[in-house]
Amino acid sequence: MTRLEGPPTVPLLGNLHLLPNPGEMHLKFMEWSKKYGDILSIKIGSSTMVVLSSPTAIKEVVDKSSWAASSRPANYLAGLAAGGYHILFAADTALLRSLRKTIARFFSPSNALHRVPVQAAESTQLLYEIITQPENFSDSIRRVASFTSPKMQSFYQMLHRFLHILLPGVYPPVDLPPVLKYLPERWAPWLAACRRSKSEMAAFHMEHSRAAELNLEDGPLEEYDIFSYTGFTLVEAGSDTSAAYLLSLTLILAVYPEHQERARREIEAVVGIARLPELADFKHMPFVEALIKEVIRIRPIFPIGVPHFTTEDILYKDYVVPKDTTIVLNTYSVFHNPEIFEEPEVFNPERFMKSEHGTRPGMDTDFRDNFLFGAGRRICPGQYVARATMQLTTMRLIWAFSFSSAVDTKTERPIGRELDFYDPEFVVMPYPFKCAIQPRSNEQRDMILSASKDAKFLLQRYEH
């Protein structure tokens, strides 16, 4: 067997000293993959991390060997902040496998259709908020993507703080060395942050689950409570994903008016301007579908995703990925590989009109269009709901509004925004940017205002 290659190490640290800021991690991994190949090994202290940077490597190591690559690496901060019950970071246990099966059924393609009326109401609410307060479009996207209920807003903010704790570089890698776990709280600010996060979650679930029986502070949760807790974490993950995508979409529509105009013409050819687009219309809009895929490709929401952890040795080509190894899927590298995509740094939806996956001829063999949602058994169970939200909201935003770069009042020139101007959080989205948004016609504006009344009535039942 061939030894996995990787950058040179130094004693004790391994490659830790070579790792950049969190927001640039995917770029460093892509740089190394060009030198060491689509599977490479790095050392984080004494621990081994394997980075996968091609569709074939991900398919062979994680998809086909999911039985051995479905766990998560131990994360002391995640365990401290969430009691070990956050579905994104939980180890592969019998309870988690049972939980995933239940969640997969709940979010199956057929069951996802039952949520369409709510998605339609949410997208209508977003259109209404943008019409009434276009200067606050970014806040509207974040708010509507995470539900309009004040309680759900509170939950969203709480879990966003939790995910921020886990972002590499925010706090020291407490697992390396383990002695950091035992520092007094006055010397370890991460302890206070984690305990505060855990207390917030406990308080929220005390109110919204089986209040008398649920207490994250006192001990293990019963299975019923874990299912309930997991449901809320899925809501948070979905809302973050939707908001990040919609903000990227808005930025791109403003920067590339020619693609926006082509999408508008296609939408109006299907639905006209006398009604709002519905999800059933999407199958007749190949360019809008290509536009969505290209937004996801050029700026993936999860550039490196959540790490996997091996529980057995895995063979790939002439290599062995050892047991107890952390696996990182470098989605960004997959989407920006010039051998797979022609001119990968250019935003070009047309590539998806020529090929199902937008790839060069002959490169589709191991490619799939859901790399954004992970791989193997840990692939996001809510991907069908997320796709429907992206499709419906994209159609409606382009149908309703004209997006353009805001104009600087001093220079009278458009305020541009580079596509690499992104916030390096756990879920990657653009930094705040200005955008000029105008309704496409008075008729469409009035239609949105009228439809918003029915949408608000439907959403009221979820605001408790």
Q: What is the dihedral of CA 383, 387, 388, 392, to 10 degrees?
A: 160
Q: What is the DSSP letter of 220?
A: P
Read off the tokens for 195. Answer: 């305990």
CA 369 to CA 218: how far, in whole Å?
43
CA 267 to CA 254: how far, in whole Å?
18
CB 145 within 8 A of CB 249: no
What letter represents residue 333's amino acid?
Answer: S
CB 168 within 8 A of CB 22: yes
Phi, psi for 401 (deg, rounded to 5): -130, 155
* 380 appears as a binding residue in the annotation: yes
CA 88 to CA 272: how far, in whole Å?
42
SS3 311: coil
Residue with tokens 């800021």: 21
Angle at 224 between CA 220 and CA 228, to 5 degrees: 95
Phi, psi for 209 (deg, rounded to 5): -115, -145
Spell 422-432 as b/e; 16+ CB within 10 A means b.
bebbbbbbbee
CA 417 to CA 52: how far, in whole Å?
31
Beta strands 326-329 and 314-316, pairing class: unpaired
What letter represents residue 59's amino acid?
Answer: K
CB 165 within 8 A of CB 194: yes
Q: How many CB atoms lie within 10 A of CB 278?
A: 13
Q: Please report the beta strands in 152-226, taking only residues with DSSP state E, as ranges in sequence order.
A: none
What DSSP line would sit under 27-53, residue for residue? Answer: HHHHHHHHHH-SEEEEEETTEEEEEE-
Phi, psi for 430 (deg, rounded to 5): -65, 150
Beta strands 326-329 and 47-52, pairing class: parallel
Binding residue numbers for heme: 380
Binding residue numbers: 380
